[in-house]
Structure 1
């Protein structure tokens, strides 16, 4: 099928009011070229280009002709829903053909029938679930997918951990539930899909898991690509807590738990002694961690030097268990007809794998031989009743992972987003993030008339953010003014929870409009409340800077309280900055400024989502005027939109915005 004729002849017949856009046709044609051949494309398509149809159309045509699957990866569930429930049904009408589209989810999203049976037989649900279990069983008898998010009742996180699938705690084909497993039935559908929709986290886990999670594919479109490199880094992250290790040890042996692995094996004395020794060593280890790292209640703190810890005693105790497990594993088989033997064989295999991971983690924390790994601590999660610090590690060479592991596995890779280019208008920042320069580049402007549809307000008389108290006092005055100007219908975007909380407290006392906080309600509930509440004001942090699509008069004002620079003490960034300084590279210009520019562009993009949207974007950070980089950041915003500084002029211009 000819794309040109589809856009010019077929689509106007099917889609009322559709007008062919040259930018959409250009993007779609380029993606078709890449899919039919090979290569890497970076495509920035401004809001309103019609990006999703631009790639779905050539992806579907390629799949239908070749019989192979094209993967589409997104960051947000909202875009996945749009693709599945709006765009692909439209695509089927355009092509007059059924398109097999599936959404792939991570393993932990699915009920594991084997684990559920064990929980059901033992009654090990947890006291918090006793009153809810009948509702859950009723849902389980009706569900076709076993996807936990489709369950509308209450279920605790502890309960989900007992009944959902774990990749390293699965019998696979040796399980009697394999032929009717929710997860494996879904995987069969994935193999047959024309278009397989995944999220970046699952794709990154697929890469981290040696490409064993998803079906084989070599054509991929990565939408909302601006955050993909960071998400890949997180997927290679390790996070270890005292509670996690303690639960692993108790899963293997606990006098109170008759279903623990060691009890199933008849409680061999040498294994019981080894587990008891490991539990004692764990307490000593975390006592040493607390002593060496001190108290941390406020945020991430990088661990710059090797730690003495317990000189490896805990690792030795785990190694003893691993060796005993290896010895015992010869007596058990996952292929056995005996269910108990299968469970023991799987438990031994899982224990060996998890304990080896812990041994490697703490050995590296003591020795620090891998210069590519960054380690840091985070405060205890007091909501989860944690007593000790969380320990984390993450590689800093994400660019190498993408360029040397991921891209060579693919034949065609299309990275696309409304925000890939840097403040200077090139793709250098994103190319550095993916570590790959042999790319084709395409930049397409938004068809919206931002000069007519939007106003940019940047007042000058605001204290520098370094004087936090005065700065918050100043921006509160402007926030209150702007909320009243648009009668609510406002997003206020913050870069820190602390600032949001302080402004929220003042607005609660002094504003007559409904104030909704992401911190109080959670992101999903906050957005829903905002949509349901007239003249509402939503206070949000990172997740509301991007991926939120609210059209019409519900959103008339976006207030950016502070330029979105990443905190330089964030452990991975701090390490990158140090390494760049060693090479005489300006890290601020190379990393921090381009990243802030992308986020600023994303924040501005929340306002104008259709040809009829109008409103104000305000930036309440005086550094736009007082710092040399201010002009550079302004260049990331839509061309021709000039900042207004006078509130009286702003009021007049706002009242004269087009009423469409």
Structure 2
């Protein structure tokens, strides 16, 4: 705050002052919810109050709102606090040996808590995890060490003014870890996630509609929500219900693109079932044909890292075109390389399904391995489906299907980005034609010409450049 020696020159402060004077402020969804969360506490604000809020890519809002209305307890954040306190100890009060020992003890107990969950990264139900005695014991040791650290820091308050803020944070962490034992609240999903080094415990609301509706009511502003993927089966009901909206006006605008002329949707025959072990081999064989016909210029979008890596191994030495895979470099660098080459192949998972804009003849074909249903093992999805069932809804129709339709529309949207673009979309999942819900997916997609004959798709690709001339 104002006590900071760089307060007058602080770029964040200057940006906020400009925002107060501006007519239009452009921010991301996260800053909007962070601002609402701070205002809700009643002591500050990050952004000035607005008369109107316009959300682009609004399909992301329910998920982001869940994060902000929930709570996360992270050992990564706790480790950062330990590191900060260790710097203060060494620079300001090195004679306070008890503080150094206490920090070491807490750091060990935090590391032990992570190790109790095993070596691999995972997600799971926190309620089930608490039934495991070693996990409970490890949690109690962290709480006990936080409590002891709090008492030691209390003795240090008059030794360094830098102690006051971390002193309060230690008590906050202790309260959070104790609260993690109370899983009795209904309407919330309690789940955990581990990475190679850290553990995070999440308490996530299953329904944000009432809270978001309250924000809309309290701000007394007008709200506009827009996205290319808000509708499911030509209806906006799923989106409105997820945020508790009662719109005074809503409409679906036709695409400016002539999909019938510009694009072809191919659902190839004779492919294995989506979960069949032979599927990656079949995808490699299909990809070789379409990449050759498209002269590179292909996105292969996957729903899992495993499938992506298997197909990459099959294609890597078999193509004459440059091939890039998500994870080899940052998303931005990979996209720049893909565009620069002009005849490259790119393999990606979730982050490449949306927010990627490749126009012109640099991208002529998008291949999607299967329908993007969320993993049934996802604890948050499981909790939402249980909650839907308790409310008398069909969990698949209310939760899984709409989410998958919106995700597929995002992936499909990578193909045609301009009025002059042409291309082929290939979806390698038989369920589009063998399952009843396949029609919901198809009716939600742009009105492209369709075929089940891969040879027609190959001919379309081979003739794209001729048609342009």
Q: Same fold (TM over 0.5)?
A: yes
1:528: Cα distance to partner?
A: 0.6
Q: 1:215 maps to which residue?
A: 48
Distance 2:139 2:416 in 1: 58
1:447 alignment partner, one of 232, 242, 256: 256
Aligned to 2:164: 348
Does the C-alpha gap of structure 1 residues 416 and 203 become closer, same or farther in structure 2, counting only changes over 3 Å?
same
Query: Residues 359 and 471 (structure 1 numbering): CA distance in 2 closer, same or farther, change over 3 Å?
Result: same
Which of 586, 598, 608 is the aligned partner of 2:416? 608
Q: Which residue of 2 aligns with 1:584?
A: 392
Q: Summarize deviations over 1:14-72 as a string: whole Å, max 9, x none.
A: xxxxxxxxxxxxxxxxxxxxxxxxxxxxxxxxxxxxxxxxxxxxxxxxxxxxxxxxxxx
Distance, in Å, in 1 between the alignment partners of 2:122 and 2:138 is 25
Tell me which moved more, 437-446 or 562-571.
437-446
SS in 2 for 1:173: coil
Residue 401 (structure 1) aligns with? 211
Q: For residue 617 of structure 1, what is the aligned residue in structure 2?
A: 425
Q: Structure 2 length normalisation: TM-score?
A: 0.89
Which residue number corresponds to residue 418 of structure 1? 228
Q: Is the 8 A contact 1:373 1:394 kept in 2?
A: yes
The change in CA–CA distance for 1:310 and 1:457 in structure 2 (over 3 A counts) is: closer
Shift of 1:288: 5.5
Tell me if 1:500 matches 2:325: no
| Counterparts of 1:361 and 1:604, CA distance in 2 | 42
Matching of residue 276 in structure 1 with residue 101 in structure 2: yes
Q: CA deviation at 1:621?
A: 0.9
- Contact kept, 8 Å, 1:491 with 1:559, in 2: the verdict is yes
1:269-308 equivalent positions in 2, closer than 5 A: 273=98, 276-277=101-102, 279-281=104-106, 283-284=108-109, 287=112, 290-291=115-116, 294-295=117-118, 297-305=120-128, 306=130, 308=136
Query: 1:492 touches 1:559 (CA, 8 Å); kept in 2?
Result: yes
Q: Any conservation in 1 of the 2:208–2:242 contact (CA below 8 Å)?
A: yes
Distance 1:324-1:377 versus aligned 2 partners, 3 A rule: same
Contact persistence 1:460–1:625 (CA under 8 A):
no
* Alpha-carbon distance in 2 for matches of 1:311, 1:453: 58
Contact 2:7 2:13 in 1 (8 A): yes
Change beyond 3 A, Cα 1:372–1:296: farther
Is 1:596 equivalent to 2:404 in the alignment? yes
Change in Cα spacing, 1:285 to 1:251, as seen in structure 2 (3 Å) is: closer
1:494–1:539: 8 Å Cα contact kept in structure 2?
Answer: yes
Check 1:403–1:569 CA distance in 2 against 1; reply closer, same or farther (3 A cut): farther
Q: Partner of 1:300: helix, strand, or coil?
A: strand
8 Å contact from structure 1 (residues 249, 275) kept in 2: no
Pick closer, same or farther for the CA change 1:318–1:540 going to 2, 3 Å.
Answer: same
Q: Distance in 2 between matches of 1:521 and 1:407?
A: 44
Matched, 1:375 2:201: no
Query: 1:314: which partner in 2?
Result: 142
TM-score (norm 1): 0.64
Native 8 Å contact 1:600 1:636 kept in 2 = no
Query: In 2, Cα distance between the equivalents of 1:185 and 1:267?
Result: 40
Q: Report the Cα distance in structure 1 between the residues aligned to 2:204 and 2:99, rounded to whole angstroms.
A: 31
Q: In the TM superposition, what is the alpha-carbon distance from 1:427 to its structure 2 partner?
A: 1.0
* 1:106-133 deviation digits (Å, cap 9, x = unpaired): xxxxxxxxxxxxxxxxxxxxxxxxxxxx
Shift of 1:316: 4.2
Deviation sequence 1:475-518 (CA, Å, 0-9, x none): 22111111111111111111111111111111112111110112
| Cα deviation, residue 619, structure 1 | 0.4
Cα distance in 1, alignment partners of residues 177 and 188 from structure 2: 13
Local SS of the residue matching 2:204: strand
Shift of 1:522: 2.2
Pairing 1:248–2:57 present: no
CA distance in 1, matches of 2:150, 2:402: 47
Matches within 5 A, 1:553-592: 553-592=361-400
- Kept in 1, the 8 Å contact 2:264–2:450? The answer is yes
Say whether residues 1:645 and 2:413 are aligned partners: no
* Rounded Cα–Cα distance in structure 2 between residues aligned with 1:409 and 1:276: 49
Match of 1:357 among 172, 176, 179: 172
Distance in 1 of aligned mates of 2:75 and 2:455: 57
- Alpha-carbon separation, structure 2, partners of 1:538 and 1:215: 42
Q: Secondary structure at the match of 1:309?
A: helix
Question: What residue number does 1:264 align with?
Answer: 92
Conservation of the 8 A alpha-carbon contact between 2:127 and 2:183: no
